Each structure stands twice: as C-alpha cells, then as structure tokens.
Chain A
Amino acid sequence: MVVRSTLRHSYWIMWKDLLEFSRSRMRLAMLVLMPLLMMGMVGFIYPTSDTITDQPIAVADLDAGVGNVSMGRVFTAQLEGINAATHMMVLSNASGMKDIKSDIQEGKIAGGIVIPANFTQSILRGEQGGLEVYTDTSNPQTSGMIQSVLSRTIDAMGIMLANQTLNQTYHIDSNRTVAIMKPYSVKFGGIVPGKPNYFQFVAPGIMSMTVMMSLMTGLPHAISYEKDIGTLDGMLVAPINRLSIILGKVMAQTVRGMVQGFIILGLAMSLFGVVIYGSALLVIFLILLIVFSFVGLGILITSFTENEETAGMVMMTLMFPMMFMSGVFFPVNQMPGFMQTVAHALPLTYASQAMRKVMLLGAGVPAITTEIIILVVFGVVMLAIAVPLFKRAMTR
C-alpha cells in the first residue's frame, strides 16, 4: 500500500518534470547536441597514424661519402620516394643538428633526421649506418606518432637495401631474402570481425557516463533548484512519502539519461560506424543497473548541498576525476600502476568496463558478473547511507 502510493506520487512528479523539460526547446536541443559534440570531440581529438600528414621534417645530410658514393644521398632519395606516395611529411633541408634543434624550438618543424658524416663509410665497411631522429617532445602524441612512422619508414628502407645486398652480393634468391631477414610474420585481429576504432572504444564509456551524469548532476540540481525557487515546499507540505519526491526525480532523470544514451548509441552507429556485438537487452539492463548504482550517490549529494550553486561545485569536483580516470576515454590498463588503483576504486570504471565488454566483445552475463556485483553493492551501500540522510535533510 505504502509502496503503491509512493510510486503513484513519484509518477506524478516525474510527469511534471518531463512535461517541464519537454516545454523547453533549448533543453531538448541540448539533449541531442551534447552527445553529438561529445562523440565528435573525443572521436577526432586523438591523432591516429591516418591523421599524420604533411608533418614538416628537416633532413640534415652530413654524410661525407666515400669517393663519389654517398649512401646519405641514396637514403634521402629513397625517403622522398616513399613520401611521394604517403604524403606524411613535408621534407626540407637543414645544415645540422643545431639547426634542427632551433627550428623545433621555434615550432617550424615537427622533427628532424640527421645523417652522420660516417654514414657511407660505416655501411661500406659492413657496419650499421646510424641515423639520429629528433622530434618535438612538447607534443607527446604527435612526437610518438612521428617516431613510429619514421622508424617504420626507415625499417622498410633498410629492408630494401638489405634485399639488394643479399641478392647481389650473396646471390640469394629474392623470394627467400625476406624470410631470412624477417623469419616471423604476424597478422593482427580482434575476436569480433571488423576493424576496431576509437569510437568503438569510447561509445560504451560515454553512454555509461551520460547516464551517471544525468543522475549525479541532474538529481541534486533538480532538487536544490526547487528548494531555491520554493516549489519543493509545495511537495513537502503534501501528505506524501518524502522518498516519492526523490524517486519521481530519479525516474525523470533516468528517462532523460536513457533517451540521451540511445541518442549516443544511434549517433555512434549511424555516423561513426560503431557496431554492437552483444545483446541490446543486456545493454538496457546495464543502463538501468548504472542508474541504480549511482542513485544513492546522487541523493547523498542532494542531502548535503544547501543550494544550487554548492550542488554545482560539488558535482564538478566529483565528476572530473570520474570522467578521466574510470576508463571512459583512456583504457584503464594503459594507466600507470597507482592510477589503476584509483581507477579500480571508482564505480564508473566497472560500469564502462561492463558496457564495453557487452557492446564490443559480445560478452554475456557470466563475463561481467564481477562488474554487476560491484555495481549492485555500491548502489545498495550508497542508498542505505543516503536515504535516511535525505529524509532528515528535508525537515530542517
């Protein structure tokens, strides 16, 4: 009886909240715009090897050569040849290491290659020809990318040279030379078909985060706003269970969070080529589980915050670490050890992990049991703390 009337009252509060929300065109627009921007932003912000083009690279050929043989010139010509096909670099000449250093500092070039004076000499003597590559380390992402691109290019060039040497000097059939130089070959693939991309990786995380955010920011915001404008008193003075107020708000926020979650999913699938490999029902179940898990935290913050402004500040403080440390944008296992410890203390980590396993790897319930248990326990503990505090906070 109590349960039924509480649910009935919370239904009407939800009805009111959603009606209010649907009347504001601005808010409706934001409902779609926010996930769109979010996806676009995180999807394109990180450089991939495809996005590295026309990087200004200087080459300082200091090779003295032996007689009229200059391996440095051969190298440069080869590099230009490869680059003509890939357009990864814009090559220029530099007089030496000093030049390259100052140009990097001034931001004129992203990196430089130095061919040392004894380059030809070493190669002719049967030794390795040493090259030095300098990159703009103030931009770690690009720097890393250039390093790997250059090292791949230089490797390929080395193989070309070696192939020639083996073939001409040792008369080894060119069909076999590759097997001698690179006895192992490797083919990469995931356990699901298709080529993984960054959108695939972020979409589940962003979905979990949006649902969590709509509860954690939406709930305290909604309650403290009504407290500020005075309408909360109207509900408190009615003979209803105090919980139905928060429950109504939770339901309204959940509907909004779900709608936004599905918008994200829709965008991810239609615009960014994301594919769900797992069960859609399990995805919905996970969204509801995330709601349950974070409701308590939302109520807890609501009970502690006096007004809208404080609520906003508390939110920001809690949200940012959660956003960046729980594997939504960066995989947790790529983080340094102590950060992984922190990440594993955040419930959102398990939410996005479970969501990712289901959506990307097609996992079923058995594979995510641990995550489910952690989220349920977290939700129960938070609710047990938050509900009595909320009831007390409502009658000051």
Chain B
Amino acid sequence: MTAVAISTKDLTKAFKGFTAVDHISFDVNEGEIFGFLGPNGAGKSTTIRMLCTLGRPTEGSATVAGYDVVRQDNQVRENIGLVSEKMIMYNDLTARENLKLFGKLYDIPDDVLDKKVRKLLSFVRMDKWADERIKTFSTGMKQRINVIRALVNDPKILFLDEPTLGLDPKSTAEIRELVRRINIEQNTTIILTTHMMVEADMLCDRIGIIDHGRIVALDTPASLKRLVSGTDMSVFEFEIPNLTGDMMASMGALPSVSSVTQDDPTHIKVHLRGEDAFDVAIDCLRKGGAKIRTARNLEPTLEDVFLQITGRHVKDDDIALGRRKHRFGGGGGGGGPRHGPGGGGGAARGR
C-alpha cells in the first residue's frame, strides 16, 4: 500500500521581504519516515508549521491525511501530532497532568484517556515518574514525555521538528530509537526535520534536502549518496602528524579541492574533484613538508551530498545565518570552508 499521507503543491511562505519556503512540491507516503534535511533557516520549520496548520501558506496548497491544511484545518489537526523545537509542556504540572490536559483537548473520555496515559508512560519507561513535576526531569526525560504527549490522540502522522536538538548523546540515541519504535509499532507516518546528517541517514526512508526554501534533492539515503559516488567527486582522509595551518591553506587553494576540514589535530578530510585530483593533493602536501601516515578513501555521507548539491557545508550556514538573514537571495558565504573541530554548533538559530 502506497497511500499518500502528505502531498504539497507549490507550497510557499513569504514573510516581509523574503521567501522562507519557495514553491515546494513533494509527497510523503503512509508509514514512512520522511526526513527534511537542511541547515538552520532553510525553511524546514516553516514548512512543518504550515503542514500543522500553524502557519498559513502564502501560495500553493497541501493536504495532510487527505485534508486541506487551510480549508479543513480541524480535520488535519485531529490526525496529527507535533513535537516542535520548543517543548510543549508545562513545567509545574506532572507528566500525567500534561498528558491529561492534551488528551482532554482531543475530547478523549476519562477512562480511555487514563488507560492511554498509562500505556504511553510505560512505552517510554516513565511510569515511575508519572506524578512528578516536569521541572524535576532531565532534558532527556522531558523529551520522552514531550514525544508521547504528541501521541495522545493516536495521530496518523507525527511531525518531529529537530527532536534531538540539545540532547546529550545517550538521550539522542533513546529518542531516535523511540522514533523508530513509534513508526514500526504504531505504524505512524513520521516527518522529521534535522540539520544532522547522521540522524537523517539513520532514521529516514526518504530524505528531502532543503536549502533556501527549495527542495534541492529528494530520494532514499542510498540513492542520494550514489549522487556523489557517481560523479568525479571523492573524499579522502589524510592522517598527517605534523599538520600545519599552511598545509591546509595551500590545499584549500587548489582548484581541484572543493573543501578541507579538520576533524582533530592530525586528521583532515578533503573533498576532491577531477581524475588526477588525488595526485595533485598528495603533491601539494609533500611540497608543504607533510609526512602522510595514512590516506583513506571515505564512503560518501549525506554531508558530502549536501556539499555536492549546494557547494557548501551544512555547518557554514549555521554560522553565516545571522548575516544571511539580512542578505536574502544572494548565495550563502562560499568562502574557504575550513573550521576547527566541533566549531559552530547550533549557536544562531532561526524559527
């Protein structure tokens, strides 16, 4: 069965002076996990908000669970659950009270709701904490409650906007596992946005890469990666014990090198283009006095796909976001994509 859960046609959202979502059209099939991948400010959240009836499209149309998001907004609402970037929970209320409130907004009768709340709490192993106030919870526990809160109405479609943002690695893994279980055990269609390549790769059946409000690629993770391996682009990792900034700079200046990134003090990752690119790179490093210990040809990642398609790293946009907001339309800051390990998390974040 390949019924369509969501379908958009030329969906557009324009704010004063700039277009956040620019005529996007795509379908999401029932039962799949569909990922929206893109840098912060690319238009992921705005798209989600329109599909959840929280934002009115300026142009185009969308149906969710077969209902029009503008004309049949209440029917859409009955069929969806939302886990947004900000947690939808009241800190002074207990986990149970929070779930009860939202259940009541969906007119679920008391006896059914009680049972459902208990089931959901044990689903995420939070039974013990049911009557504790949310504010006493760790971020990971909060997010688990936040996710099941979106499930009180048994939604056909669950929207998750950056569900692992700001979580520690253990909680991140838990939430990802939870998302997968919801998809399999409850057969819920899931739309997920993320700026993390790994997350999209791990979870999603299909991925739409969104950039500057446009979907620039849409396919399964495997096919997307084939986009890269099918071209003359290759990714190499060099281990250089005596690595210097000068070596990286001269590498970056080569026409056949599209980016150089440093992962730790002795490892660099280089994106190369062209038949003889590897030779050119080796020559350049040798000339700079580098002692190359190892060189590895890496499997392409979604990160590479994004680079291949947009010419930029995902993280570059995170950092340049503040500037880009004022300078609409003009391409992102291409520059020399080089930054230290762990540089630029999600510091600047749009809605």
Is residue A194 contacting chain B, with contact meaning CB distance below 8 A?
no
Interface of A is mostly: helix
Chain A 207-244 per-residue mask, 1 if CB under 8 angstroms from chain B, else 0? 00000000000000000000001110111111110000
Residue B112, interface by CB 8 Å: no
Any B CB within 8 A of the CB of A12: yes
Write the nearest CB–CB distance from A120 to chain B, whole angstroms. 79
Q: Does B104 contact A (CB under 8 A)?
A: yes
Q: How many residues of A contact B (CB 8 A)?
A: 24
Q: Are A237 and B54 in contact (CB-based, < 8 A)?
A: yes
Known A16-B90, A239-B74, A239-B77; judge A234-B133 contact (CB<8 A).
no
A1-44 interface bits toward B, Cβ cutoff 8 Å, 1 = contact, 0 = none: 00001001100110110011001100000000000000000000
Alpha-carbon separation in the docked complex, A9 to B107 (Å): 8
**Contact of A138 with B by CB under 8 A:** no
The reply to whether A239 and B106 form a contact with Cβ atoms under 8 Å apart is yes
In the complex, the answer to whether A236 meets B54 with C-beta atoms within 8 Å is yes
Is A395's beta carbon under 8 Å from chain B?
Answer: yes
Our pick among A8, A19, A239 for the contact of B93 (Cβ within 8 Å) is A19
Is A195 interfacial (CB-CB < 8 Å)?
no
**Residues from chain A with Cβ under 8 Å of B102 in the complex:** 234, 238
B54 near A12 with CB under 8 A, answer no
Nearest residue (CB) in B for A394 is: B54
Residue interface bits B40-54, CB-to-A below 8 A is 1, else 0 = 000000000000111
B56 and A237 within 8 A (CB): no
Question: Do B105 and A9 touch across chains, with their CB atoms under 8 A apart?
Answer: yes
List residues of chain A with CB within 8 A of the CB of B87.
Answer: 230
B56 touches A395 (CB 8 A): yes
Complexed CA–CA distance, A396 and B58 (Å): 10
- Return chain B residues, CB-CB under 8 Å to A233: 52, 54, 82, 84, 86, 88
Per-residue 0/1 for B73-107: is the Cβ within 8 Å of any A Cβ (1 yes, 0 no)? 01101101110111111101100010001101111
Cβ contacts under 8 Å, A5 to chain B: 107
With A233-B84, A238-B77 given, is the CB distance from A395 to B53 under 8 Å? yes
B105 and A396 within 8 A (CB): no
Instruction: Tell me, in angstroms, the Cα distance from A229 to B88 when the chains sit together.
Output: 8
> Smallest CB–CB gap between A338 and chain B, Å?
41
Q: Which of B78, B85, B101, B153 contacts A16 (CB 8 A)?
A: B101
The one of A19, A234, A395 in contact with B97, judged by C-beta atoms closer than 8 angstroms, is A19
- The interface residues of chain B lying within 8 Å CB-to-CB of A237 are 52-54, 77, 80-82
**B55 contacts which chain A residues (CB < 8 A)?**
395-396
Chain A residues within 8 Å of B97, by CB: 16, 19
Distance in Å from the Cβ of B214 to the closest Cβ of chain A?
A: 22
Secondary structure dominating the interface of B: loop
Within 8 A of B (CB), among A224-275: 229-231, 233-240
* A12-B133 contact given A20-B92, A230-B88, A237-B80, CB 8 Å threshold: no
CA–CA, A81 and B162, complex, Å: 85
In the complex the two chains form, is B56's CB within 8 Å of A396's CB? yes
> Who on chain A is nearest to B104 by CB?
A12
Which chain B residues lie closer than 8 Å to A8 at the CB level?
104, 107
Closest to A232 in B: B88
Given contacts A12-B104, A20-B92, A23-B92, contact A229 B86 (CB under 8 A): yes
Q: How far is the CB of B21 from chain A (nearest CB, A)?
A: 13
Chain B CB count within 10 A is highest, among A234, A235, A239, for A234
Distance between Cα atoms of A234 and B87 in the complex (Å): 9
Q: How far is the CA of A229 from the CA of B104 in the complex (A)?
A: 21
A189 CB, min distance to chain B CBs, angstroms: 53
| Contact residues in A for B53 (Cβ distance below 8 Å) | 236-237, 395
A239, B75: Cα distance in complex, Å: 7
In the complex, which of the residues A23, A24, A238, A396 contacts B106, with contact meaning CB atoms closer than 8 Å? A238
Instruction: Choose one: A20, A239, A395; the contact of B90 (CB below 8 Å).
Output: A20
Q: With A229-B86, A238-B105 as given contacts, are A24 and B54 in contact (CB-CB < 8 Å)?
A: no
Q: By the criterion CB–CB under 8 Å, are B104 and A230 in contact?
A: no
Q: Please tell me if the beta carbons of A239 and B54 are within 8 angstroms of each other in the complex.
A: no
A12 and B105 within 8 A (CB): yes
Cβ distance B45 to chain A, nearest Cβ, rounded Å: 11
- CB atoms of B105 and A231 under 8 A apart: no
Instruction: A152 to B107: give the CA distance in the assembly, Å.
Output: 73
- What CA separation (Å) do A240 and B56 show in the bound complex? 17
Q: Complex Cα distance A129/B93, Å? A: 78
Write the chain B residue with the least CB distance to A22: B92
Q: How far is the CA of A132 from the CA of B230 in the complex (A)?
A: 107
Q: What is the distance, in angstroms, from A26's C-beta to the closest C-beta of chain B?
A: 11
CB-CB under 8 A for A231 and B107, given A395-B55, A396-B55 = no
A239 neighbours in B (Cβ, 8 Å): 74-75, 77-78, 105-106
Q: Which residue of A lies closest to B103 (CB)?
A: A12
Contact with A along B53-65 (1 / 0, CB 8 A): 1111000000000
Q: Please indicate which of the listed interface residues A5, A8, A238, A396 has the most CB atoms of chain B within 10 Å of its own CB.
A: A238
Taking the closest CB of chain A, its distance from the CB of B209, in whole angstroms, is: 25
How many Å lie between the Cα of A238 and that of B82 in the bound state?
Answer: 9
- Which residues of B sit under 8 angstroms from A9, Cβ to Cβ? 104-105
Residue contact A12 to B88, C-beta cutoff 8 Å: no
The 24 listed contacts between A and B (C-beta, < 8 Å) are A12-B104, A12-B105, A13-B105, A16-B93, A19-B92, A19-B93, A19-B97, A20-B90, A20-B92, A20-B93, A23-B92, A24-B92, A230-B84, A230-B85, A233-B82, A233-B86, A234-B88, A234-B89, A234-B149, A238-B77, A238-B106, A239-B74, A239-B75, A239-B106
A sample of 6 more A-B contacts (CB under 8 A), given A233-B52, A237-B54, is: A12-B105, A13-B105, A229-B86, A230-B86, A238-B153, A239-B74
Rank and list the top 8 A-B pairs by shortest CB-CB distance, nearest first.
A230-B86, A234-B88, A239-B77, A238-B105, A23-B92, A12-B104, A20-B92, A239-B78
